[in-house]
Each structure stands twice: as structure tokens, then as C-alpha cells.
Amino acid sequence: MDKTMTKELVITALKMAYKRQRPGEGVIHHSDRGVQYASLEYQKLLKQYKMIGSMSRKGNCYDNACIESFHGILKRELVYQTKYRTREEAKKSLFEYIEFFYNSKRIHSTLGYFTPNEFERMYGHSAA
């Protein structure tokens, strides 16, 4: 999270996610068509990580429906109900919501009423 969306921000985020998850070769990385994701440096990093880049079609929000849905939930359940005094306070609040509630306690009907963390653990075991 930062004041502006830069290629450095998304590169840092991708590096953090890769280090945390260590996905196998061939993972599909989907994004919108932002210049940050289309940048040469970002595309090189995807290749280095052996990820398959995928981008939404121009002007088609339905290609990114999953993340758009998540953003809607995040705004309704947290952001619109909270007044942040500082950017740091907002970052902390968003981190705690995602890591300690959304991923580990909030069940999702599309995941068979499991949390994302439970679903990921089950998928990891069945895929192995």
C-alpha cells in the first residue's frame, strides 16, 4: 500500500508474495492492464519466477471479478466503517483484517464454507 501505484510497489509486492508462498512452476498470475504490470521489469520477474502472465481484456471488469468482489467485501466490512487518521493506521488495519480475519476466520461459500487458509491447506494436500 502506498500513495501511488508504481511499478516498484507491485514488484515489491510480487517479491514478497513469491518469498512467502514459493509457488511451483506454471502458476498463473492474473492482473489488470495497468502499466505497472505490463512494465518490462515486472514481466521479467514473472519469467524469472516461471509464472504465466495473464491480463484482463481492455475495459472488461469481468475478467477480474474475483479481486473486484474481494475489494467490495473489504470496503463494506472494514473501510467504509472506519475513519483512519493516518496511512500507517490504515495499513495496519487492512493487514490485520486480511491476515487475521478474512483469510483465517471468514468462511466463503465459494470455497465450500471453508476459510481461504483452510482451503489452501486442503488443496495443497490433495495436489501433492
Measured CA to CA, the distance from residue 84 to residue 23 in angstroms comes to 34
pLDDT for 39-65, tens place per residue?
999 999 999 999 999 998 888 878 888
Q: What type of residue sits at position 38?
A: A
pLDDT, residue 126, reads 52
% of the chain with per-residue pLDDT over 70: 96
Beta bridge partners of 108: 114
Residue 42 burial (10 A CB sphere; 0-12, 13-18, 19+):
buried
pLDDT, residue 68, reads 87
pTM of the model: 0.78
Measured CA to CA, the distance from residue 119 to residue 100 in angstroms comes to 15
